[in-house]
């Protein structure tokens, strides 16, 4: 990835770019540790989208007039920004969708329709978000195919020794997460892709929790599809990315039909538009796409390496501090991880702790994190999850841990 750094990384000054971080909740300064669910937006994203709605809005691709042309240009520039950000070779390999869920459903529908049949197998892992599990499960049910899963150990790492026996003659695709949203594990996706490719098995990677923390280069990974959501990478909601290698996007059928994705239409026959428009039926979320482009440019201003260095420091700091709280059990202790902490406290339900933290202005998530098989693996009904981002600080971690101690004293 070509990174153009324009600003040194300083969390205190980064925080100034995010208006919401300066508000209070229940009279206390907000500590936002729910970034795995969605991230907050820098001013440049908010203001770009506001300016477009106020001064530039017009539907793309179909107009001859100034505003429409201007919007089309900005939309295509955003596509190119995404291309550079993930190291793709061609802009037409970048499809705008509604989000990770939309992208995965698109591949499950389109690829599944063409390549998955009775008796075939689709491989996922036990640590998938439901978004990368249920679409495949439904496809398998519909087609009479079988869903198989790579298991994990108690550290929350994939048991890759099992991979060779899970790849069979019938495996049509492997779809796996780059980073677990429930455990924080970073999976060695490059090696996994190489091993799958030795068997001619294509691989889709769910990057929803990865692109905002790690430098991702889809050309280097050599994955066949890579998907992520705008709202988890400091961009707007309702926009996402489906990267697909040209050979696949050319080969696969559209998954939605309508305006813009067609070339010639008569009452007898329809031919489809070229890539990537073949996969962008209807009026897309073009303002969201432009907002996402701004978010990625904003990150490139610091460089992902600088952001990762800061976040790695937060991982060490939080692991150390959390480990000192009596009765805390962290789920997910992978050697390679991001700053997502899933944990429970002895004899206390996560929900009760979450409620007390909320009263202290601390936003964490409680529950199964849309990853029920992960909870089933550990035999628990949910966890508390603190998920950190570039704008979080060690001071916030201290206040969060002191909030946990308060919760313990109130609940025991
Ligand atoms: N995959 C992972 C790993 C996720 O964390 C999420 C969101 N929590 C999704 C998929 C779904 O993303 P979205 O809701 O933005 O479509």
Cα 180 to Cα 47, 106, 130, 152: the distances in Å are: 32, 21, 11, 11
DSSP-derived secondary structure for 237-272: TT-EEEEE-HHHHHHSPPSS-SSSSEEEE-SS-EEE
For 379-392, what is the HEC assignment? CCCCEEEEECCCCC
Q: Given this model, what pLDDT does residue 7 score?
A: 75
Q: Given this model, what pLDDT does residue 122 score?
A: 98
Q: Given this model, what pLDDT does residue 29 score?
A: 98
Structural domains in the chain, CATH included, are: 11-32+303-411 (3.90.1150.10), 46-301 (3.40.640.10)
Residue 188's CB: how many other CB atoms inside 10 A? Answer: 14
> Exactly one of 30, 370, 380, 411 is catalytic; which is it?
370
Do residues 78 and 51 touch, judged by C-beta distance below 8 A? no
* Any ligand 1 atom below 6 A from CB of 208: yes
Do residues 194 and 165 touch, judged by C-beta distance below 8 A? no
Q: Given this model, what pLDDT does residue 4 score?
A: 60
Picking from 409, 319, 384, 406, the residue whose alpha carbon sits closest to that of residue 28 is 406
Q: Given this model, what pLDDT does residue 1 score?
A: 46
Do residues 129 and 370 touch, judged by C-beta distance below 8 A? yes
* Any ligand 1 atom below 6 A from CB of 280: no
Q: Which two tokens stand for residue 118?
A: 């009775």
The series of mean pLDDT values per 10 residues for the chain, 412 residues long, is 68 97 98 98 98 97 90 98 98 98 98 98 98 98 98 98 96 98 98 98 98 98 99 98 98 96 95 96 97 98 96 95 93 96 95 97 97 97 97 97 95 90
25 C-alpha vs ligand 1 centroid, how far in Å? 26
List beta partners, residue 196. none
Please provide the size of the chain in residues: 412
* Residue 206 C-alpha from the chain's centroid: 6
* Residue 372 C-alpha from the chain's centroid: 18
Picking from 121, 124, 77, the residue whose alpha carbon sits closest to that of residue 96 is 77
Picking from 184, 215, 216, 394, the residue whose alpha carbon sits closest to that of residue 308 is 215
130 C-alpha vs ligand 1 centroid, how far in Å? 8
Alpha helices in 233-369 (DSSP H): 246-251, 286-302, 304-323, 350-359
- Is residue 140 annotated as a catalytic residue, yes or no? no
3-class state of residue 47 by DSSP: helix
Mutate to test the pocket of ligand 1, among 229, 236, 241, 385 (most ligand atoms within 8 A of CB): 229
The rounded distance, in Å, linking the Cα atoms of 33 and 11 is 15
């Amino acid at each position: 990835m070509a990174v153009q750094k324009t600003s040194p990384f300083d969390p205190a000054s980064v925080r100034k770019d995010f208006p919401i971080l300066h508000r209070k909740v229940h009279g206390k300064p907000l500590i936002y540790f729910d970034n795995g669910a969605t991230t907050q937006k820098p001013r440049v994203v908010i203001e770009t989208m506001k300016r477009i709605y106020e001064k530039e809005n017009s539907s793309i691709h179909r107009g001859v007039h100034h505003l429409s042309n201007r919007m089309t240009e900005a939309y295509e520039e955003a596509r190119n920004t995404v291309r550079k950000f993930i190291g793709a070779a061609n802009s037409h390999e970048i499809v705008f969708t509604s989000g990770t869920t939309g992208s995965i459903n698109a591949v499950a529908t389109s690829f599944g329709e063409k390549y998955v049949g009775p008796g075939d197998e689709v491989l996922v892992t036990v640590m998938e978000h439901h978004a990368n599990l249920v679409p495949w499960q439904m496809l398998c049910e519909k087609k009479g195919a079988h869903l198989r899963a790579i298991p994990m150990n108690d550290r929350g790492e994939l048991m890759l020794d099992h991979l060779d026996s899970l790849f069979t003659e019938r495996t049509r695709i492997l779809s796996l997460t780059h980073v677990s949203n429930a455990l924080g594990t970073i999976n060695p996706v490059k090696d996994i892709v190489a091993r799958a490719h030795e068997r001619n098995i294509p691989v889709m990677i769910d990057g929803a929790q990865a692109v905002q923390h790690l430098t991702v280069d889809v050309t280097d990974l050599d994955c066949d599809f890579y998907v992520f959501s705008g709202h988890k990478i400091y961009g707007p909601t309702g926009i996402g990315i489906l990267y697909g290698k040209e050979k696949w996007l050319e080969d696969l059928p559209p998954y939605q039909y309508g305006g813009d994705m067609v070339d010639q239409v008569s009452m007898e026959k329809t031919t489809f538009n070229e890539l990537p428009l073949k996969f962008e039926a209807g009026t897309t979320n073009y303002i969201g796409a432009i907002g996402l482009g701004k978010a990625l440019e904003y990150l490139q201003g610091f460089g992902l390496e600088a952001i990762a260095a800061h976040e790695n420091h937060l991982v060490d700091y939080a692991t150390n501090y959390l480990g000192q709280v009596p009765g805390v059990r962290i789920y997910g202790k992978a050697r390679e991880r991001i700053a997502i902490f899933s944990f429970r406290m002895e004899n206390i339900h996560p929900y009760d702790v979450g409620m007390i933290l909320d009263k202290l202005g601390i936003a964490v998530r409680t529950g199964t994190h849309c990853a029920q098989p992960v909870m089933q693996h550990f035999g628990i009904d949910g966890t508390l999850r603190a998920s950190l981002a570039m704008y979080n600080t060690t001071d916030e971690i201290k206040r969060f841990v002191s909030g946990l101690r308060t919760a313990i004293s109130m609940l025991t």
